[in-house]
Amino acid sequence: MTKKSRRARRGVSKAAQPVRITRPVKPQLAQAAVKEVNFQEEYYYVIEDLRRIGLIALALLVLLIVLALLIA
């Protein structure tokens, strides 16, 4: 047999109240001023960094080839 609960049960439940759902209002954003950007002036250092990375990668590749020939 199941054990009886000592809590009193609620005899009458409240009727469900209707809930009104509204659509969220999107705030109107101000138009941002579009600025012309000269990427060559902004990122002048990128080409130097890419060249440096390429030289390091080439040097490591040559080193791996030389080591493979010496060990084999």
pLDDT tens per residue, range 9-64:
666 667 778 888 888 877 776 677 778 888 888 898 999 999 999 999 999 999 99
Q: Which amino acid is at 12?
A: V
- Specify if 44 maps to a domain: yes
Give the per-residue pLDDT at 8: 64
Nearest-10 Cα torsion for 52, 55, 59, 62: 160
Query: Which position has the token pair 């990668």?
Result: 57
- Specify if 53 maps to a domain: yes
- Specify if 64 maps to a domain: yes
Domain encompassing residue 61: 39-71
Give the per-residue pLDDT at 6: 72
Q: Which one is predicted more confidently, 10 or 70?
A: 70
Q: Name the CA radius of gyration of the chain, rounded.
A: 36
- Specify if 28 maps to a domain: no
- Specify if 7 maps to a domain: no
Q: Which one is predicted more confidently, 61 or 1?
A: 61
Domain count, the chain: 1
